[in-house]
């Protein structure tokens, strides 16, 4: 459950949403993509209120790129076919133009040479970059990253986070990175939020986060087992309250 969340993200920002497991990060992400409706308050994305369903919600979702922590690549399709899938599904572009767009997206993540490979032939970092290329396929103005570093080694993590920053700047995106990987994410973020116990306990720059004396923030940054964030917390219902983005 999220309570009393008041969040505004400016165009062009890279915002890191940090917090321990079960703190409400995934609930916030679900609210931003219309999977969950707020019990109170409202969610506004890209200048419009989040639709309750139907064609309007589907149209808005086409303007939100989502990088899933599990990648979600279809194993029977090649890399190029995976990236082309949303373009084929949501546009009437001719095949030759789709191929060109796929080449551009793969080039943007450094994987143009892997177009004919299958997901099972890729390393974890390469698969994550293919998923990123697919999330960018429809040129969304907003990117949401759901734990983008899960399962990646330090080098692959560095490559992915560097891409997040570079693509955000070169393509004119706005990016929300939902993660618990603090040290890898803060260097590329303009602003950081910390969610604990269903509420935002910190919002500020990465430098302000490092200097914060808040006990919630300090426990999370230090990885301390004892503190205001309970280790043995009871499960909470997945709903949102007063979420604004």
Please tell me the predicted confidence (pLDDT) of residue 40. Answer: 82
pLDDT tens-place string over residues 64-83: 999 988 899 999 999 999 99
- 111: DSSP letter: -
Please tell me the predicted confidence (pLDDT) of residue 221. Answer: 78
Which 3 state secondary structure label does DSSP give 131?
helix
Which 3 state secondary structure label does DSSP give 45?
strand
User: What domains lie within the chain, and their CATH numbers?
Assistant: 1-63+141-245 (3.40.50.300), 72-139 (no CATH)
Give the integer Cα–Cα distance in Å for 201 and 216. Answer: 7
Model confidence band, residue 245 (pLDDT cutoffs 50, 70, 90): very low
Residues 6+ apart with CB under 8 A from 106: 79, 80, 83, 112, 114, 115, 130, 133
pLDDT tens-place string over residues 172-225: 999 999 998 888 999 999 999 988 777 888 899 999 998 888 887 877 777 766
């Amino acid at each position: 459950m999220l309570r009393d969340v008041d969040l505004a993200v400016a165009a062009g920002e890279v915002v890191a949403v940090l917090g321990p497991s079960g703190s409400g990060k995934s609930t916030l992400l679900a609210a931003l993509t219309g999977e969950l409706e707020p019990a109170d308050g409202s969610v506004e994305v890209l200048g419009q209120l989040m639709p309750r369903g139907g064609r309007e919600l589907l149209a808005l979702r086409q303007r939100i790129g989502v990088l899933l922590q599990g990648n979600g690549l279809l194993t029977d399709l090649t890399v190029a076919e995976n990236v082309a899938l949303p373009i084929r599904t949501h546009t009437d572009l001719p095949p030759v133009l789709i191929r060109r767009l796929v080449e551009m997206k793969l080039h943007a993540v450094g994987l143009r040479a892997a177009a004919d490979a299958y997901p099972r032939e890729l390393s974890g970092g390469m698969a994550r970059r293919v998923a990123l290329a697919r999330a960018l396929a429809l040129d969304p103005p907003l990117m949401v990253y759901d734990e983008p570093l899960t399962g990646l080694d330090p080098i692959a993590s560095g490559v992915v986070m560097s891409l997040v920053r570079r693509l955000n700047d070169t393509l004119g995106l706005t990016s929300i990175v939902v993660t618990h990987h603090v040290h890898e994410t803060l260097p590329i973020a303009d602003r950081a939020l910390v969610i604990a116990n269903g509420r935002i306990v910190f919002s500020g720059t990465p430098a302000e986060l490092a200097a914060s004396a808040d006990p919630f923030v300090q426990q999370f940054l230090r990885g301390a087992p004892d503190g205001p964030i309970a280790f043995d917390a009871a499960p909470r219902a997945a709903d949102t309250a007063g979420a604004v983005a």
